Amino acid sequence: MDIEAIRRCCLQFPHATENVQWGYDLCFKIDGKLFAVAPLEPAPTRLSFKCSAEDFAQLCERPGIIPAPYMARAQWVSLQQLNAVSDSELRELLAEAYRLVFGRLSKKRQQELQGGVPKKVSKPTAKSNSNRKTPTGNLRGDKTPATPAAMAKRATPVRKKSAKAGRGQ
């Protein structure tokens, strides 16, 4: 599989984008989050991608596949040659990388990307206004006048004496 085939494979996923970052790395992303990176100039690795913890351990045992520099702690692997895995297996691994990164997005964002849920605008409810002070200083629903003494009484928290406070020490 060459870089053009990898590009076609990665861009077939819904909402997948590509851009060149860090000078010459072709990055494939979902909602701004990386799932695969391929250098466009000669480099020690030909392709890096996210994988599951189980796949990470298995893939790193194979010749031509190493933990991705700087990204291994997040279970990324790098192929030193593009033929380190078969084309069909590479397509499956890239699809899994996409699914893993998509799965880390918030549930709300996943639904928005899938087109299922429109963004909701929250409206204030009557309950949320019930404890708001009126211009006179009264709490809504409170019938007592807003005298300075009454307001001070409401603002002063009631302190309970602890059991130890009454004992002679």
- Range with the lowest mean pLDDT among 36-40, 54-58, 156-160? 156-160
Region 10-17 average pLDDT: 95
Q: Tell me, which fold does domain 3-114 have in CATH?
A: Aspartate Aminotransferase, domain 1 (3.90.1150)
Residues 6+ away with beta carbon under 8 Å from 50: 34, 35, 36, 74, 75, 76, 97, 100, 101
Nearest to 49 by CA among 23, 68, 26: 68
**What is the distance between the alpha carbons of residues 63 and 42, in angstroms, rounded to a whole number?**
20
Which neighbouring-strand residues pair with 35? none
Region 146-167 average pLDDT: 59
Confidence of residue 1 (pLDDT cuts 50, 70, 90): confident
**What is the distance between the alpha carbons of residues 6 and 133, in angstroms, rounded to a whole number?**
61
pLDDT at 130 over 60: no
Region 124-129 average pLDDT: 52
Q: Where are the domains of the chain?
A: 3-114
Determine the pLDDT at residue 65: 95
Q: What is the pTM of this model?
A: 0.67
Measured in degrees and rounded to the nearest 5, phi and psi for residue 34 equal: -65, 140
Q: Which of the pair, 122 or 56, is modelled with greater confidence?
A: 56
